[in-house]
Structure 1
């Protein structure tokens, strides 16, 4: 297995980035805390991103989680397969036949990709706190269903797109483009990819200038996303989300209800308040929250620290976690 290590420092609150091949596709892993796990590591916080699955978007969120737990537990984020720019020494795909056979860039392939990552890089005895964002929540539910022996302590579902995606207000807008006109959308992405990174950065800042407290750490990962292949892989995955994320998996939720915390946005066009009300009615005893802070679906743009602080408070309030913290 090829690994590219861009870390300088492994300790404290300095990030460490690995580029690896998983299921034959390039994968970026952003790590705070230990870079390798052994049996002495009791708990791993693992972030499963939304789409685009770019781990750099979550830098502030991960850094805050790591700090608030006193740097005691590793906090990692694993990108979606093919949602990162490979370093010069690596390609987007290591094994083309493996990637195609497993449809690794598709939604099902991304679920298997995360399970393969855990098998390869996380000791089986390590307990997991899974944190999903958007489609990452769907992936987590699928992971727990496909591998019920995973030692999941808690699964935090932030702005969960786990049902009726194409019927949501944003889904109605995006479905035609992602499912029927995806190749047309490739042209502007390709043209943007030809621009120098400095100009891409300026354009991104201009487009996002309306966000008053924009997190500056998200600019460079967005530049990488405009490389062309990354955006194409994200759009391909998005098209499958519209077609496959249909009915909520109540069986998986019921089986794991005591481990799940759901957090819905009050003005989220991907999972509207009606979805919150429906799941709240179906699972009245579940830990299902509605945002009162005005956070946007893409909270990483301006509220990564605040959302991380909120997540820590939820977990600290659970008596079963006292042993670990």
Structure 2
């Protein structure tokens, strides 16, 4: 009936919240319950890549939510400062020390969990790119976290500056960042409609572009999000060096790694290396030609894969 389909649709309308976490403005996107209580056994939490904008993950999250029959809430938490605050809020309230840096972003995620997720809720953590590095570090810093599974998509967890993309981006992010601030500032002054047209032009080459990513991308051109993302990127190049084998070994049974076949941030060699070091681990190499920024055109497909990999673990 029409009534039923309306309820279905509403159930799939996500809820957006803004809050201060570690003093930094933080955006959350939530499918399913907005508040967790003891009835919620499992929470899916998406830890984004960089830029850590939750809107990019909308289709991916919606697919996860519906494929599990709307049973489990699916949340995403932005990186500190990677969002456009509503007019009533500033980007920082009283930010804690270097909250926009990589270490600050890890503490920021742990603080978010402490504040908004009951300790008894089991977590399915889904990381993308630098989000995977953040997840490993969260598990290291808080060994009591109830992680059921951690899914690592296109994981940049080692030797970032040495990757083909890292070699190009390191000088840009570490030394020429300030050069980019001026054009960014000028772009931010453009009217929204013009920003939208520019973004459409830039992303126009992507054949099956997911149009839900356009608005979040436009958001990057206003305010401080892009500058904060570049600052964090510069730190990634300096800090993501050695793979954390101790943490990987400790939690190997919970981890699933998915490497891109043409990922310039983590070359296929990294996949072969980690597989050799952990013969019993669950490492997969993409056969579908998905790009590192999979949310641009393959959010639904990647979500369907994730569901296949972990549905067995959720049948408890």
The interval holding the TM-score normalised by the smaller chain is over 0.9
Q: Is the 8 A contact 2:82 2:229 kept in 1?
A: yes
Q: Within 1, Cα distance between the matches of 2:133 and 2:204?
A: 31
Q: Within 1, Cα distance between the matches of 2:196 and 2:10?
A: 30
Q: Is the 8 A contact 1:11 1:33 kept in 2?
A: no
Residue 137 of structure 2 is aligned to residue 142 of structure 1: yes
Q: Is the 8 A contact 1:130 1:156 kept in 2?
A: yes
Q: Secondary structure at the match of 1:82?
A: coil
User: In the alignment, what sits opposite 2:97?
Assistant: 102
Alignment of 1:72-221 (within 5 A): 72-95=71-94, 99=95, 101-221=96-216
Q: Within 1, Cα distance between the matches of 2:223 and 2:315?
A: 45
Q: Within 2, Cα distance between the matches of 1:11 and 1:75?
A: 15
2:235 to 227, 231, 240: 240
User: In the alignment, what sits opposite 1:65?
Assistant: 64
| Structure 1 residues 121 and 11, CA gap change in structure 2 (3 angstroms) | farther
Q: Secondary structure at the match of 2:253?
A: helix
Q: Secondary structure at the match of 2:162?
A: coil
User: In the alignment, what sits opposite 2:46?
Assistant: 47
Q: Is the 8 A contact 2:124 2:150 kept in 1?
A: yes
Q: Is the 8 A contact 1:10 1:35 kept in 2?
A: no
Deviation at 1:228, TM superposition (A): 3.7
| Structure 1 residues 216 and 10, CA gap change in structure 2 (3 angstroms) | closer
| 5+ residue gaps, structure 1 | 1-8
**Number of equivalenced pairs:** 309
Provide the alpha-carbon RMSD of the alignment.
Answer: 1.1
Cα-to-partner distance string for 1:84-139 (whole Å, 9 max, x where unaligned): 001011100011xxx2x421000000000000000000000000000000000000
Deviation at 1:188, TM superposition (A): 1.0
Q: Within 2, Cα distance between the matches of 1:17 and 1:195?
A: 25
2:314 to 306, 318, 321: 321
Q: Within 2, Cα distance between the matches of 1:110 and 1:102?
A: 11
Cα-to-partner distance string for 1:28-62 (whole Å, 9 max, x where unaligned): 00000000001110000000000000000000000
Deviation at 1:10, TM superposition (A): 11
| Structure 1 residues 87 and 187, CA gap change in structure 2 (3 angstroms) | same
Q: Is the 8 A contact 1:189 1:228 kept in 2?
A: no
Q: Secondary structure at the match of 2:11?
A: coil
Q: Secondary structure at the match of 1:212?
A: coil
Q: Is the 8 A contact 2:84 2:223 kept in 1?
A: no
User: In the alignment, what sits opposite 1:4?
Assistant: none
Q: TM-score, normalised by structure 2?
A: 0.96
Cα-to-partner distance string for 1:219-278 (whole Å, 9 max, x where unaligned): 000011111410000000000000000000000000000000000000000000000000
| 5+ residue gaps, structure 2 | 1-7
Q: Is the 8 A contact 2:258 2:284 kept in 1?
A: yes
Deviation at 1:12, TM superposition (A): 1.1
Q: Is the 8 A contact 2:159 2:241 kept in 1?
A: yes
Q: TM-score, normalised by structure 1?
A: 0.94
User: In the alignment, what sits opposite 2:5?
Assistant: none
Residue 262 of structure 2 is aligned to residue 267 of structure 1: yes
